[in-house]
Amino acid sequence: MASKKIGLASWRNQPLGISILRLWLGGVWVYGGWAKASDAAFLSKAGPNSFSGQLTSYIGHSPLTFVLRHMLEHATLFAWFVMLSEFAIGIAVLSGVAMEAAILGGFSVSVILWLSVTFHVHPFFLGSDLPFAASWLALFFLWRAHARSGSRGRKTALGGIIPNLKDRREVMGIVGVAAGAVIASLAGGSFRPKLKVSAMIVKVADFPVGSTMSFTANDGTPAILFRTNAGVFAYSAICTHQGCTVAYDSLSHTMNCPCHGAKFDPTSGAVLAGPAPIPLPKINVQISGAHIIQI
C-alpha cells in the first residue's frame, strides 16, 4: 500500500504532481530550518534580526498582534519551536512519515506567516505565504486521494491526520523525524558565523548633541546611545523584566518596553514605570578622537 510506505519507498508509484510538491515544499521547509539554525542572530535574545526583533516589527501591523505580544515574552523559546517545527515538517514530508499531519502543519505555518508577516502585502500575490498555503492544501488532497487509491478504502497505518501510535513503524518514524530535527538544528549551530563587533559606534560629526540612536553592543545585544551637553552615554535595550527590546520614545523622552509597559529614564536607565525590577544595564561609551566608541 502506497500510503504505508516511508523513506524511498514512499516516492514510488506516486503521481508526478505529488513528487514535485513533496520535493519543493519539504525541501524549502528543511532549508528554512537550516537558515534559522545557521543564523547567528535568529536565536539571540534581542536584535533586529533576532526572532524577538522580527516579532516586534510585526506587532501593530498584523491581525495576530495580540498573539505576537504574548510570544514576545518568550521569544527565544518560540524561536526554537519554529526552527524545530520547520525541520520536522520538511523531514516528515520528504520521508513520508505522518504525511497528512505534516502537510497540515506546513499549511498552518504558511497561514500563520501570512497573517503575521505578509498580510498587508499588496497586491497579495507578491507575498509568498498564501501561495505556499495553497500548495500545501493541494498536496494534502492529492496525497489523501493517492493514499485511498492505494489502500482500496481501508484505513492506513501511516499518513493519517492523527498518527497511529499503535503502529511501531509509525512511532519509530516520528521519533526519527524528531531526532533528525534536533540533530539538524544542532548541526546548523556549528555553521553560525561569529558576530562581528567593533568598538567604534559612530562618528562624532554624525551624532550631534541631542541625538539618539540604536546600535549593537560588542556582545551582540541591542543598545541605545544618547548624546547630551554632558557627554555620551548608552544603555542595553533589553528590558530587565522578561527580555523584550525597548525603544526610545522621543515624545515622552522615555525608553519603553512593548511587552508589559515598562518605562526607563534615558538619563540614568532607572525604572520609571512597569514591572521591570532593576534599571537597564549601562554600557560604557566615550568620545575618542573623531568617533564615539564602546570601551
Which pLDDT score is estimated for 154?
Answer: 46
Pair (173, 272) in one structural domain: no
Instruction: Tell which of 131, 166, 189 closes a domain.
Output: 189
Across the range 179-195, mean pLDDT stands at 87
d(CA 220, CA 237): 11
Q: Are residues 209 and 175 in the same domain?
A: no
pLDDT in tens, 82-133: 999 999 999 999 999 999 999 999 999 999 999 998 888 888 888 899 999 9
Model confidence at 1, in pLDDT bands (50, 70, 90)? very low
- The count of structural domains within the chain is 2
pTM of the predicted model over 0.85: no
Domain final residue pick, 137, 167, 189: 189
- Residues 206, 145: one domain? no
Give the mean pLDDT of the chain. Answer: 87
Residue 156 has pLDDT above 60, yes or no: no
CATH number at residue 278: 2.102.10.10
Last residue of a domain, one of 157, 189, 221: 189
Determine the structural domain holding residue 268 and report its residue range: 200-294
Helices (H) and strands (E) in the chain — how many of each? 7, 11
Confidence (pLDDT) at 2: 39
Helix axis angle, 75-95 relative to 65-72, nearest 10°?
A: 110
194 assigned to some structural domain: no
Of the ranges 102-111, 130-139, 193-202, which one carries the lowest mean pLDDT score?
A: 193-202
Q: Are 158 and 165 in contact (CB under 8 A)?
A: no
pLDDT band of residue 173 (cuts 50, 70, 90) is very high
pLDDT category at 153 given cuts 50, 70, 90 is very low
**Predicted local distance difference test score (pLDDT) of residue 133:** 97
Query: CA dist 187 to 33, 37, 151, 248, Å?
Result: 11, 8, 38, 37
> Does residue 7 register a pLDDT over 80?
yes
pLDDT value for 129: 95
